[in-house]
Amino acid sequence: LPVLPPELRPMVELGEGELITSDLNELYRRVIYRNNTLIDFSARSGSTPGGLVVCQTRLVQEAVDAPIDNGIRGQPMKDSHNRPYKSFSDVIEGKEGRFRENLLGKRVDYSGRSVIIVGPSLPLHQCGLPREMAIELSQASVIRGLIGQHLAPNLRAAKSMIQNKESIIWKVLQEIMQGHPILLNRAPTLHRLGIQAFQPILIKGRAIRLHPLVCGGFNADFDGDQMAVHIPLSLEAQAEARLLMFSHTNLLSPAT
């Protein structure tokens, strides 16, 4: 039976001697416990009924199967709260599994996605960003701006103003987004023009507006294509976006 490294099945101390451990540790513990019981029965083979040894052997096999795929033999092993333990297969499969979550792609904060529609009146370096999306992406900065400008006395009041969509938050949001570039990406990103920087213009509605002349690098059109929005947070990332990634500086394909 392969045993995962401790880093992949950690134990976390909460204080006062209380520990939270990975489900895999409990499944491994049951393998050891049942195997030791079988060894004890085998050592006393003269006084142990044969049927009991066979039953314990089956329990050992179930315990060995559980860390790999809990429930493969029917009833899964559960904890004291009647919750099935997460086995190795549960860790790697699904949208939140190791492959899709950490290896094939990574879901990140400060990002969003929406359909693109045409915005022919926009300059090449600007895009129309829905206000509802912008307030979610920049909520931390808006809260800091509301408190810093003494428009909200505390964090709770600032969050309440954002939740109620008060008119003052759009002015604060406009000030924040005015000098902050965003990145637009359309999958599949086959070359470097698949992700470019734009200066956002706050608009109503839920779709991203884009000038049709910058769609060539994205290989995008307006028949329902979607684009992902990312906000560069660090000063270095913002400087790189302004100097190298703005759309009006990437009109020519690097292959030509």
Asked if 69 contacts 88 with a C-beta cutoff of 8 angstroms, the reply is yes
| pLDDT band for position 256 (cuts 50, 70, 90) | low
On average, the pLDDT of the chain sits at 89
| pLDDT band for position 7 (cuts 50, 70, 90) | confident
Q: Is 80 exceeded by the pLDDT of residue 45? A: no
Mean local confidence (pLDDT), 63-70: 90
At which residue do the structure tokens 């879901």 appear?
107
SS3 94: coil
| Assigned fold of 111-138+180-249 | Barwin-like endoglucanases (2.40.40)
Radius of gyration of the chain, Cα coordinates, nearest whole angstrom:
28
Return the higher-pLDDT residue of 140 and 107. 140
Q: Is 80 exceeded by the pLDDT of residue 17? A: no
Region class of 224: left (phi > 0), else alpha (psi between -120 and 50), else beta:
left
| pLDDT band for position 143 (cuts 50, 70, 90) | very high
pLDDT score at 94: 84
Euclidean distance between the first and the last CA atom of the chain, given in angstroms as a whole number: 55
Q: Is 90 exceeded by the pLDDT of residue 208? A: yes
Asked if 202 contacts 129 with a C-beta cutoff of 8 angstroms, the reply is yes
Residue 99 DSSP class: I
Mean local confidence (pLDDT), 40-68: 86
Q: Where are the domains of the chain?
A: 6-103, 111-138+180-249
Instruction: Report the relative pairing of strands 111-118 and 195-203 from DSSP bridges.
Output: unpaired
Instruction: Report the relative pairing of strands 182-185 and 195-203 from DSSP bridges.
Output: antiparallel
Mean local confidence (pLDDT), 94-106: 79
Percent of the chain topping pLDDT 70 = 99
pLDDT score at 11: 85
Q: Which residues pair with 116 in a beta bridge?
A: 208
pLDDT score at 78: 86
Residues near 4 by Cβ (< 8 Å), separated by ≥ 6?
24, 88
Dihedrals phi, psi of 14, to nearest 5 degrees: -90, -10
Dihedrals phi, psi of 193, to nearest 5 degrees: -80, 0
CA distance 90 to 69: 7
Q: Which tokens in the block code for residue 41? A: 């029965």
pLDDT score at 113: 93
Return the higher-pLDDT residue of 250 and 220. 220
In terms of Cα–Cα distance, which of 132, 237, 135 is closest to 176? Answer: 135
pLDDT score at 168: 92
Residue spans of beta strands (DSSP E) within 89-221:
111-118, 126-130, 182-185, 195-203, 208-210
Mean local confidence (pLDDT), 230-254: 90
Q: What is the per-residue pLDDT across 154-192, written as a single tens digit (0 to 9) for each?
A: 999 999 999 998 999 999 999 999 889 999 999 888 888
Q: Is 80 exceeded by the pLDDT of residue 128? A: yes
Region class of 110: left (phi > 0), else alpha (psi between -120 and 50), else beta:
left
To the nearest 5 percent, what fractions of the chain are helix, strand and coil?
Answer: 45, 20, 35
Mean local confidence (pLDDT), 65-89: 86
pLDDT score at 207: 96
Q: Which tokens in the block code for residue 151? A: 């428009």
Q: Is 70 exceeded by the pLDDT of residue 240? A: yes
